[in-house]
Amino acid sequence: MPTLDVRYLSDEALANAERIFHDLKHKRMLPFNEIDHDPVRHELDCLLLTEVLDITTEDAHNAIYRLRELLSAEPSIHGGKKSRCDLEKEWEKLNR
């Protein structure tokens, strides 16, 4: 199965990856079991596909979205959790 070998990414792609992670590192992500509707993970996926891997097809972006849906439905990931994280309320708790 083909896998990404980051040693072969161009200097521009690596610089883009560094910028993307720097720009997103302070954004709060939802817990991993909520990957299917996490806007930050969606943004990260889109930016990595387009600006690092130069993959711009709608099919590829849809496939990544579908992968997030499948991952969130995996019992070993969701663990039967029914609740959804409210990041705004969690942020308020941290800043009291």
Instruction: Give me the average pLDDT of each 10-residue run along the chain (96 residues).
Output: 89 96 92 89 95 95 93 80 69 67
What phi, psi does 26 have (nearest 5°)? -100, 0
Helix and strand numbers, DSSP H then E, in the chain = 5, 0
Overall size of the chain counted in residues: 96
Residue 64 near residue 47, CB atoms below 8 Å = no
pTM score over 0.85:
no
Q: C-alpha angle with apex 25: 54 to 58, nearest 5 degrees?
A: 30
Selection from 55, 56, 27, 22 nearest residue 40 by Cα: 27
